[in-house]
Amino acid sequence: MSDLKTKFIASSINRSTTSPAYLFFSGKGGVGKTTMACATAIGHALQGRRTLIVSTDPASNLSDVFEQDIGHRVVQVRGVDKLFAMEIDPDEATREYKERIIAPFREVMPEDVIASIDEQLSGPCTTEMAAFDRFIDFMETDDYDIIVFDTAPTGHTIRLLELPVDWSRHIEEASKGTGQTCLGPVETIQGSKERYDRATTLLKDPEKTRFIFVMRPDELSLYEALRASKELESIGISKGEIIINGILPEEVCEVEFFRKKYTAQQKVIKKAEDIFIDIPKRYMLLRDSEVKGIDALKSMAEELFDGERPAYNTVALSSSSQAINVKRPDIDSLWLPRRETRAIFFTGKGGVGKTTISCTTALYTAQKGQKTLLVTTDPAAHIGEVLIREIGTEPVKVRENLFAVMVDQEEAFKEYKERILKEARGRYSEDMLRAMEEELNSPCTEEMAAFDRFIQFIVSREYDVIVFDTAPTGHTLRLLSLPFDYARQVEMMVSGADAARPEEDRENPFREIINILKDPERTTFSVVLYPESTPIEESYRAMVDLKEAGIETQLVVANMLIPEEVCVNNFFRNRRTMQLRYLQEIEERFGLPVLSFPLMEDEIRGMEMLEMAVRYLRNT
């Protein structure tokens, strides 16, 4: 790309402004979204603008990138004047949100009423709304010239941005009914409607707000960027900008392995330019090491703002002649059923190859003679792209013993709502039915409904193995916690009902699925990562969070390891050396079996490539 610098400078990220500007970074997880957001924030701060970077991602990693503690309060970023940062902690935001709603009533309401409001604010959707509510606080301040939001990966981001519209509608409709919402009595939150409407207006104002999509030059990432762009347009948010990150420098692609990857990347870049013809774009080269710390981020900012090509290390960091010495785990004992249906979960930071690993695993178990269902619960589903066939909301046969299905939240919500109301009719009063319907109309119920469908697959016993391609880490953890929160929510909905079922009967379905999830004989939790610092940190936190919920992770999949034989120059020797160093850290830190999986010469799309990946699993 000889005209790379011209294309850099043509971008408008560096556009000056005299009024507060809100920059939203979005993209499929693992594309370098956080790095781009941090580098952009540094760039604006170095130009004299008072800048704040805020993460609304449940799996936030600003601390990792800046190499300092950030946390739930605004802090000065060391080494950069005028730059401040904050990670919105969902739990802390929920506590603050609940207290702000309840505080005015503490002196005028009886304790039992206060306790009731507090319980009604304990639903799973409150956590998400509380984080967004904190996020709106920053949009209403004039303390900063630029506010950069490092938002959650694309599928979740779209839902996050839809929240103000949904909740405004939910509050308005609830006020006409019983006054009950899953956020509490409507009178306690009616004032929030104006805030959410103001937020929506700001999000849709291109003079105030800009959206920057970060993508890798690969087909799946392009698909996600296009999908996200269309979804934003559908809710009235104008197109923003594109950063194509991780482009292989042509001069280091000396062997056929990397020349093929370079050519494939260039085809995707050309396709992106044709699709996003009227959207400003930036092109960021792959580095030979991780981008962490202020100095590395300043270098990245120079590339973003001025088109300065990075200087590569011409000296190898150390010898990488050693083989990847990882003992192959007994995957049959982890993936094949012993007595009842085996559920296999793959979780991890988005973009680490979770979808391709889950598809490869499903084909592997199918070829072992096990009737296998491949399921996605990710709002940004990619299974269909990997299998190169349309996957719907009912299981479809892909090949012998292999079936696939997508849990569509909207469709699951409709089915769930109708089933719950049908079961309730004849057992509850009309007033209670109206309250339940309003409860079920809450936007957060979509997530409960998706999980409800997910439960049905596990308990149906129709399949020998069910492989779940779960959503990126933060979303996955909330999804897996839903049975616990959902049980409390059901308790709240039917409390005081005139025909409530006995306590034991009501809890049985949830106790069963929780026990299945905790049983290592029936369920295998695997974390997928690639050997770099940030994915390791996020995956370790995810493992700890699962353990606190009583769920043990059993396998680590270290993906995208560069084969030694293709590292013919120091650029790739340095990257491989970095991977080997982190692979050792993975073994020591996680204390779990590690399945290493190589970077493949061609992108894993279609059954032929999946067959090749399965052969690797069998031969290692």
Mean pLDDT of 314-333: 67
Q: Which of residues 275 and 353 earns the better pLDDT score?
A: 275
Predicted confidence (pLDDT) at residue 325 exceeds the cutoff of 90: no
* In 37-170, beta strands by DSSP E: 51-55, 75-76, 83-87, 146-150
Could you read off the pLDDT of 506-527 as tens digits, one per residue?
444 556 777 888 899 999 999 9
36 pLDDT exceeds 50?
Answer: yes
440, pLDDT greater than 80: no
- Give dist(CA 527, CA 473) in Å, integer: 9
Average pLDDT over residues 400-416: 86
pLDDT for 47 beyond 50? yes
Report the pLDDT averaged over residues 158-184. 64
Nearest CA-CA partner of 531 in 360, 276, 348: 348
Q: What is the pLDDT of residue 378?
A: 62
Q: Which of helix, strand or coil describes residue 186?
A: helix
Q: What average pLDDT does range 372-397 have in this prediction?
A: 82
Tokens standing for 357?
């690993």
- Other CB atoms within 10 Å distance of the CB of residue 336: 17
Q: What does the alpha-carbon distance between residue 341 and residue 370 come to, in Å, rounded to a whole number?
A: 10
Spell out the long-range contacts of 171-175 with Cβ–Cβ below 8 A and sequence spacing 24 or more: 171/196, 173/438, 173/441, 174/438
Closest CA to 447 of 421, 423, 424, 470: 470
CA pair distance 107, 553, nearest whole angstrom: 46
pLDDT at 472: 37
Q: What is the pLDDT of residue 60?
A: 63
Buried-exposed string 60-90: b where 16+ CB fall within 10 A, e elsewhere? bbbbbbbebebbbeebebeebebbbbbbbbb
The whole-number pLDDT of residue 598 equals: 94
Q: Are the C-beta atoms of 503 and 495 separated by less than 8 Å? A: no
* Per-residue pLDDT, 447: 65
Residues 164 and 388 sit within 8 Å (Cβ to Cβ) = no
Q: Lowest mean pLDDT: which of 150-159, 174-183, 514-523?
A: 150-159
Of the ranges 132-146, 378-392, 516-530, which one carries the lowest mean pLDDT score? 378-392
pLDDT given at position 513 = 75
Query: Span 490-513, mean pLDDT?
Result: 46
User: Over the stretch 238-249, which tens digit does the pLDDT of each residue have?
Assistant: 778 999 999 999
Predicted pLDDT at 110? 81
Structural domains in the chain, CATH included, are: 4-12+20-305 (3.40.50.300), 331-619 (3.40.50.300)
Please name the residues in contact with 515: beta carbons below 8 A apart, sequence gap of 6 or more: none
Tokens found for residue 577: 């050396």
Query: Helix axis angle, 473-494 relative to 503-518, nearest 10°?
Result: 170
Angle, alpha carbons 55-57-60 (nearest 5°): 75
Give the pair of three-digit tokens for residue 214. Answer: 């970060």
Nearest-10 Cα torsion for 341, 345, 346, 350: 140
Confidence bin at 500 (pLDDT 50/70/90): very low
| pLDDT (average), residues 1-13 | 46
In the three-class reduction of DSSP (H, G, I as helix; E, B as strand; rest coil), residue 262 is classed as helix
Q: Which amino acid is at 162?
A: E
Mean predicted lDDT score pLDDT of the chain: 80
d(CA 249, CA 150): 27
Contact 385, 352 (CB under 8 A): no
Handedness of CA 611, 335, 154, 35 (dihedral sign): negative
Indicate the pLDDT class of residue 473, thresholds 50, 70 and 90.
very low
| Predicted confidence band of residue 489 (pLDDT cuts 50, 70, 90) | very low
| Report for 82-96, 359-373, 428-442, 451-465: range of highest mean pLDDT | 359-373
Mean pLDDT of 474-500: 42
Q: Alpha helices, DSSP H only, in 21-123?
A: 33-46, 62-66, 90-102, 111-120
Residue 188's pLDDT is 59
Q: What is the mean pLDDT of residues 300-327?
A: 70
Q: What is the pTM of this model?
A: 0.77
Q: What is the pLDDT of residue 49?
A: 95
Residue 58 has pLDDT above 80, yes or no: no
Among residues 359, 358, 368, 374, which one has the least CA distance to residue 337?
A: 368
What does the CA dihedral 70, 75, 79, 81 come to, rounded to 10 degrees? Answer: 150
Whether the pLDDT of residue 575 is over 90: the answer is yes
**What does the pLDDT read at residue 479?**
45
pLDDT band at 171 (very low <50, low <70, confident <90, very high): low
As a whole number, mean pLDDT of residues 583-597 equals 94
Both tokens of residue 565? 């034989």
pLDDT at 437 over 80: no
What's the CA gap between 508 and 487, in Å, rounded? 10
pLDDT at residue 476 above 50?
A: no
User: Exposed e or buried b for every residue in 377-407, given b needs 16+ CB within 10 A?
Assistant: bbbbbbbbbbbeeebeeebbebeebbbbbbb
Residue where the block lists tokens 């999830």: 517
